[in-house]
Chain A
Amino acid sequence: MSSRLAGADALESRLRAPGTAIVPYLTGGYPSLAVFGEALSALSGSEAVEIGIPFSDPMADGATIQESSRVALEAGASLDSILTTVQALGRVGTELIIMSYLNPLMAFGYADLLSRLAETGVSALVVPDLPLEESGELGAVSREHGIGLVQLVSPVTSQERLEVLGKASEGFTYAVTMTGTTGGTIGGGEEVTGYLDRVRAASRPPVLAGFGVRTVEQVRALGPHCDGVIVGSALVEVIAAGEDPVEFVAGLKP
């Protein structure tokens, strides 16, 4: 099981602190490596920051993150250059979560990748196209480095599967708020909160809700049913508009 992973454990205790954690998502290298680095450092007061590695074929992403990924890749971003940018910032004081589709991780090579992530101070890894059944190899290498491999669950995940995923997840359990791509519209009321309650009951680590979170009203509604929220597309839109990400994230605190 997943106990005693230095990185993942630190993240878990950070997220367990009282209050709703607001976890900003940044597309690595968007709109450029320099601006991304500045945004990350400005947001380092957050409990954790999720850094998305841009991929040419982001099948779980909506229009906003597809576009930010395309721009980042065109500007020359890669897993390697993004990690170098993060390392150059030194200790950032926030837990770092890396989100990447599987292929860029495979191309890097799992052993090299995980030592590099450990060096960079990464606590957990989210791989949206790697379901539990396929995650044995990457999970084993991650564990050796104390880094958690996060499991995602969705509203159509059965109760039985929820229990398995909630136990297997490390660092946090990623509760996808809806069936859809990032940036979509979250259904209202009971349906979502009831689902989050079920995830929380089944999950060993803390639960972060993500996909489509963009307003403080949503954070207020979801907050009591999870440990925090991930804010992705809405924040990328703020950065695209040249506005202040810190102010936007502060405005989401209930």
Chain B
Amino acid sequence: MTITTETGRYGRFGGRYVPEVLVPALTRLEETARLLLGDPGFLTDYEAELATWVGRPTALTRAARLGEAWGGDLWLKREDLAHTGAHKINNAIGQALLAREMGAQRVIAETGAGQHGVATAAACARLGLDCTVYMGSVDIERQAPNVERMHILGAKVEPVTSGDATLRAAINEALRDWVTRPETTYYLLGSAVGPHPYPWLVRELQSVIGREARQQMLDRSGRLPDAAVACVGGGSNAIGLFHPLLDDPIELIGVEAGGTSPELGRNAATIGRGSPGVLHGSFSFLLQDEHGQIQETHSVSAGLDYPGVGPEHAWLAETGRVSYESATDDEALTALYELGRHEGILPALESSHALVGARRWLAEHPGSSVLVGLSGRGDKDIDILRGLAR
């Protein structure tokens, strides 16, 4: 399977649709990233950070009790055990190292659930970089513990009240900041979205998930799983898990946020319910109206509450290599409690969507094995869960 990344295209998707003022910065980033991701010295530094600071490799856990309840062999790739509690740190530390190499004076980032914000704040603290995180005011409220964590780690959190005041508005605001200071600021984008080279760069930095999981499955069970499932917001944890498995005979399933209903505005199932268009610098699927205006989204999980999706996923959907489905808020919540009570693991609301996909897979293929990318832990969701339990 060949994937075009030289031009930032995945089939017809991807590209670099940005104001002219950002073109030099993106070109510089692309050149530097290509150079450094092939540089043994840089990779040694990156891998050392992953091993001694992030805590990689993360565990592969066999979920025996929940697997039995769901009728098959269930394996969890535990990104919730990575430092700061989600896969986001793999990308954040990698890009922060790049930012330092490029001599950036400050780093900016957007965040939805706050996990990417916390990961970026942590990576910047570790490397002594100035850090500002844009976060929608709606998300600041629903993911309050992560806002505190960012403050403690020394980052500035800029509330965004424009637009829908969630992840999409935070990206707009981060882009406006970058347009204003393109030469001194490094934009540390948190998912496999945005203009080239980000979808490629983020995928490269997240592919450690799939590489480790593949080897761990072989070591532990002597074979590859029949299926692998991940949740898809922008798509970084999913592409990180899937990319190293693309050439294997494994069913790959991405699970989007089904929200409360299939109606436009009530979910964030971008591939399932969207159409092609350009948002935030790349051509991919979008939730939009017939005039090309981007629509509001809904998901109980802030990290999946986004009307776009990474261009490589759009392409993998179009070629049929990966199938994409959605899980509703309620289904995700049920799966969250089931994992908690059977395995003693509290997953993030985002990751709980992937569990729904695994449960469905096992219901349709009893006795088979499925690998779940458990992208993060659910401590940040305690307030939401407490509110819903009432």
B21 adjacent to A154 (CB under 8 Å): yes
B182–A156 CB distance below 8 A: yes
Say which one of B116-124, B289-297, B347-355 lies at the interface with A. B289-297
Residue interface bits B188-199, CB-to-A below 8 A is 1, else 0: 000000000000
A129 at the interface (CB under 8 A from B): yes
**The residue from B19, B179, B180, B288 contacting A103, defined by CB atoms under 8 A apart:** B288
Chain B residues, Cβ within 8 Å of A221: none
B16: A residues at CB distance < 8 A? 131, 133-134
Query: Which residues does chain A contribute within 8 Å of B276, judged by CB atoms?
Result: 106
The answer to whether B5 has its CB under 8 Å from any CB of chain A is no
B9 to nearest A CB, angstroms? 10
A151: chain B residues at CB < 8 Å are 20
Does any Cβ of A come within 8 Å of B376's Cβ?
no
B291 and A107 contact, CB distance less than 8 A: yes
Known contacts A103-B286, A152-B20: does B180 contact A56 (CB below 8 Å)? no
Cross-chain contact B180 with A179 (CB below 8 angstroms): yes
Closest residue of chain A to B168 (Cβ to Cβ) is A57
Q: What is the bound-complex CA distance between A154 and B277, given in angstroms?
A: 26
A156 to B20, CA, bound (A): 9
Q: Taking the complex as formed, is B280 at the interface, i.e. its CB lies under 8 A from any CB of chain A?
A: yes
In the assembled complex, the CB of B195 is this many whole angstroms from the nearest CB of chain A, namely: 9
Query: Does A36 have its Cβ within 8 Å of any Cβ on chain B?
Result: no
Is the Cβ of A180 less than 8 Å from the Cβ of B163?
no
- In the complex, are the beta carbons of B278 and A79 less than 8 A apart? no
The answer to whether the Cβ of B64 comes within 8 Å of any Cβ in the partner chain is no
Contact between chains at A181 and B179 (CB < 8 Å):
yes
Say whether B288 contacts A154, CB under 8 Å: no
Please tell me if B279 contacts chain A, counting CB pairs below 8 Å.
Answer: yes
Which one of B18, B276, B292, B294 has the greatest number of beta carbons of chain A within 10 Å?
B292
| Distance of A73 Cα from B290 Cα, bound (Å) | 13
Contact B19 A104 (CB under 8 A): no
Instruction: Decide yes or no: A73 and B293 within 8 Å by CB, A103-B277, A156-B182 being known contacts.
Output: yes
Task: Give the complex CA separation of A148 and B103 in angstroms.
Answer: 39
The digit string for A85-116, where 1 denotes a CB below 8 A from any CB of B, is 00000000000000001111111100000000
Q: Chain B contacts of A154 at CB under 8 A? A: 19-21
Which of B162, B280, B281 counts the most chain A CB atoms within 10 A? B162
**Residues of B with C-beta under 8 A to A107:** 277, 288, 290-292
* A13, CB-defined interface residue at 8 Å: no
Once bound together, how far apart are the Cα atoms of A184 and B176, in whole Å? Answer: 11
Residue in contact with A181 in the complex, picked from B176, B277, B286, B294, CB distance below 8 Å: B176
Mark contacts of A130-163 with chain B using CB atoms, 8 A cut-off: 1 yes-contact digit, 0 otherwise. Answer: 1101100000000000000001111011100100
Q: Contacts A56-B163, A104-B291, A134-B16 known; A156 to B183 CB distance under 8 Å?
A: yes
- Cβ B277 vs Cβ A106 within 8 A: yes
Q: Which among B163, B175, B183, B293 is the interface contact of A104 at CB below 8 angstroms?
A: B293
Q: Shortest distance in angstroms between A129's beta carbon and chain B's nearest beta carbon?
A: 5
**Residue of A56, A78, A105 contacting most chain B CB atoms (<10 Å):** A56
Measured CB to CB, the closest approach of chain A to B173, in angstroms, equals: 9
Q: How far is the CB of A161 from chain B (nearest CB, A)?
A: 8
The complex places the Cα of A170 from the Cα of B168 at a distance, in Å, of: 33
Contact B294–A131 (Cβ < 8 Å):
no
Which residues in window 47-86 of A have CB below 8 A to B? 55-60, 62, 66, 73, 78-80
Contacts of A176 in B (CB 8 A): 19-21
Alpha-carbon distance between A157 and B22 when the two chains are bound, in angstroms: 9
Q: What separation, in Å, do the CA atoms of A117 and B295 have in the docked complex? A: 26
Q: Give, as a whole number of angstroms, the nearest-CB distance from B64 to chain A.
A: 46
CA distance A165 to B278 in the complex (A): 22
Considering the chains assembled together, what is the distance between the CA atoms of A106 and B176 in angstroms? 23
Given contacts A79-B292, A107-B290, A154-B20, 18 further A-B pairs with CB under 8 A are A59-B179, A60-B19, A60-B176, A73-B293, A78-B291, A102-B17, A105-B292, A129-B19, A131-B19, A131-B20, A151-B20, A152-B20, A153-B20, A154-B19, A156-B21, A176-B20, A179-B183, A180-B179
Residue positions of A touching B, CB distance < 8 A: 55-60, 62, 66, 73, 78-80, 101-108, 128-131, 133-134, 151-154, 156-158, 161, 165, 176, 179-181, 184
